[in-house]
Amino acid sequence: MSPAKKKAMIRRDPRLNISQQCRLVKLSRLAFYDAPVGDDPVTLEPMKQIDRVFTKFPFSGSRQIAAYLRRDGFIAGRHRARRLKVTVGFEAIYRHPRVSQPHPQHPVYPYLLRKMAIDRPNQVWCTDISVIPGRHGFLYLVAMMDWATRK
């Protein structure tokens, strides 16, 4: 049964108070007393500006949108810009790095260095790959190191 139907079942009755009726129909008192509040006109205007800015620049984040709003005369911090952007239903478009997703059929190999004593150069090498976000995409930084000499 929907909450609206449950809410319609509850009546003001001197024999059974509202708390007991809410408990019987399994509806919280907050859901009974809570009335949906629409957006006020003060909030609708920045949301229209966010829509305009986001249509023009779909990769904009909350900081950029807050800066655009300040230029247009609306005082809004980045947290309010983010909240309004989520309320409107926008999400920034950008490429996400996909470097840590193994193929499902790839086998998991055992760790062979667990009990190995590393005591000479050129015995064990390690590598690391880091992703650095750039202006037009991502850069990949690869580092290689000898475990014994740390070079």
pLDDT in tens, 9-32: 888 888 889 889 999 899 988 888
Distance, CA of 108 to CA of 66 (rounded, Å): 46
Whether 145 and 125 map to the same domain: the answer is yes
Whether 84 and 103 map to the same domain: the answer is no
Whether 29 and 47 map to the same domain: the answer is no
Whether 127 and 80 map to the same domain: the answer is no
pLDDT in tens, 82-129: 988 888 888 777 787 887 888 899 998 999 999 899 999 999 999 999
Q: What is the mean pLDDT of residues 59-78?
A: 87
Most confident among 64-73, 91-100, 139-148 (mean pLDDT)? 139-148
- Residues 119 and 146 sit within 8 Å (Cβ to Cβ): no
Please count the structural domains in the chain: 3
Whether 26 and 47 map to the same domain: the answer is no
Whether 151 and 101 map to the same domain: the answer is yes
Residue 84 structural domain: 41-88
Mean pLDDT of the chain: 87
